[in-house]
Amino acid sequence: MSERRVVITGIGTINPLGNTIEEYFSNLEAGRSACAPITHFDTEKFKTKFACEVKNYNPTDYFDRKEVRHYDLFTQYALIASNQAVEDAAFDLEKLDKERCGVIWSSGIGGVKSFFDESVGYAEGGNTPRFSPFFVPRMIIDIAAGFISMRHGFMGPNYSIVSACASSNHAMINAMELVRYGRADVLVVGGSDATVNEVTIGAFNAMHALSTRNDEYRYASSPFDKNRDGFVVGEGGAALIFEDLDHALARGAKIYCEVVGGGYSADAYHFTAPHPEGRGAIKSMRDALRDAKLEPSDIDYINTHGTSTPLGDVAEIKALQEVFGEALPAINISSTKSMHGHLLGATGAVEALACVMALTRDVVPPTINCRELDPEIPSNLNLTLDRAQRRKVRATLSNTFGFGGHNSTLIFRKYESENNR
């Protein structure tokens, strides 16, 4: 059986830069920062007092009050993004073979806020344990995939993949392979995390992983900058519809781009720090290029993991130099985390949408806030600083890496009917 081609036919998001695709793309292209003082809780006792929160969000605009009680915030974001994507794909749900449609949804930490609230409530409640009957289904990571499938009646593959900040990239690679090898025709794939809460901010502060530049928070997410001091937490979710090309053509679907390659690896080095020479990242990118049957010079845009951490940014650039060699200076590179922050397990899906924008609009989103380039990063690289750049984009590569040494790389290509695998 020959491999089937996999295309993206629907997209949706709710994230710090926008609660719709058009709002997200507009702010991404404009190079706007979503960073602002935290409003979700009182930050008086915390070292970091800012984050990239979803703006103008009221859950009752999307769900009735009974549903809100059932859904942790990460599940709310998952349902909003996936509903947008399914609607965008314009399926005739009455004609769709729902046994061939599935959901693969990721999160880095799931319902951690629900876990925190229930645990504090128990600790303050005396000797009698009183937990909400909705506690477990609000907390567990796989519940978002389950609720998405229930919403649309999709009965195919349904589960979650968790690999810290590499989670949704791994989910997309898995979805690509399931469609490619005939296990499903349509998959809703993506990730969501609701990370701006006391537990997440406090825990990452304890690790010294977050920026603490409270006096200039708009510049705090500054990938590749000499003075970067850690990442900025973001929240939200993003969804993409991965579909078999023939299935999409048969129903007259619009096609955003093609998903052509995936790679994954482990650093086998340290539980939080990346390998200093990017050893695992090198393997991940090379495997993705091999899978896509592309050469390094075929890539026009690289969306880096680029978290604004002192170790991570340099290690990733070293890996890019090793993989792309002399081709690298001609490739646009950027870190969109400089604008929307780090959405942990949802990051890969949100950044996949940046790649979709580059391919469909021939515009590369910028890296903002790099005021003084780290001397360890070559000055001849095109980091797409400060403003978006227009160019012909044929193929994009997106990296995400996670604690535990997890590495994942996806390659997307402009859809052309004559492209043959």
Report d(CA 229, CA 403) in Å as an integer. Answer: 18
Beta strand 236-244 with 186-193: parallel, antiparallel or unpaired? antiparallel
Structure tokens at 25: 């793309």
So which residues are the catalytic ones? 165, 305, 342
90 three-class SS: coil
Query: Side chain identity at 59, as an amino acid letter?
Result: P
Cα torsion 270, 281, 11, 339: sign: positive
Please enumerate in sequence order all residues whose Cβ is within 8 A of that of 329, keeping only pairs 6 or more positions apart, or say none: 380, 381, 382
Structure tokens at 408: 């994942």
**Residue 223 contacts residue 370 (beta carbons within 8 Å):** yes
**Greatest Cα-to-Cα distance within the chain, rounded to the nearest angstrom:** 69
Q: How far is residue 369 CA from its own chain's centroid?
A: 20
Report d(CA 118, CA 124) in Å as an integer. Answer: 10
Question: Residue written as tokens 């915390």?
Answer: 46
Task: State the CB neighbour count (10 A cutoff) for residue 16.
Answer: 28
Long-range contacts of 281-286 (CB under 8 A, 24+ apart): 281/315, 281/316, 281/319, 281/399, 281/401, 281/407, 281/409, 282/319, 282/322, 282/323, 283/407, 284/399, 284/407, 284/408, 284/409, 285/319, 285/320, 285/323, 285/397, 285/399, 285/409, 286/323
Please enumerate in sequence order all residues whose Cβ is within 8 A of that of 312, keeping only pairs 6 or more positions apart, or say none: 274, 305, 306, 401
**Residue 41 contacts residue 48 (beta carbons within 8 Å):** no
Please enumerate in sequence order all residues whose Cβ is within 8 A of that of 142, keeping only pairs 6 or more positions apart, or say none: 105, 159, 160
Report d(CA 334, CA 391) in Å as an integer. Answer: 14
Question: Residues, the chain, total?
Answer: 421
